[in-house]
Structure 1
């Protein structure tokens, strides 16, 4: 769902693309102590927590 919403259905995007973006986002959030706000939900995807 996330891939379709962000990139659209007409573009083929590797599923690992989301993983890479989440990793980069976590790295950006880490200096602010907020990297734990993105949780990995096994078999589902990711969840933002606050």
Structure 2
């Protein structure tokens, strides 16, 4: 599975010229987990690679 850094996600989703906080990615991932996961505190789809970024695990 490909891991995407926060910087990559910011550029791909919000655009290269986005000047917001990099934590925007973390907040968005948390919100997605709340919608997608049965238990957002124990995710099965949007996984964190500590110190690297995020990856999606197929069901």
2:9 corresponds to 1:2: yes
C-alpha separation in 2, matches of 1:40 and 1:17:
15
Q: TM-score, normalized by length of structure 2?
A: 0.68
- TM-score, structure 1 as length reference: 0.78
Instruction: Give the gaps of 5 or more residues in structure 2.
Output: 1-7
Rg larger in 1 or in 2? Answer: 1
Q: What is residue 50 of structure 2 aligned with on the other side?
A: 42
Where structure 1 has 5 or more consecutive residues not aligned to the other structure, the ranges are: none
Structure with greater contact order relative to length (CA < 8 Å, sep ≥ 6): 2
The question of whether the paired residues in 2 share the 8 Å contact of 1:3 and 1:13 is answered with no
Rounded Cα–Cα distance in structure 1 between residues aligned with 2:31 and 2:16: 24
Please state whether the residue corresponding to 1:39 is helix, strand or coil.
strand
Name whichever structure is richer in helix by fraction: 1
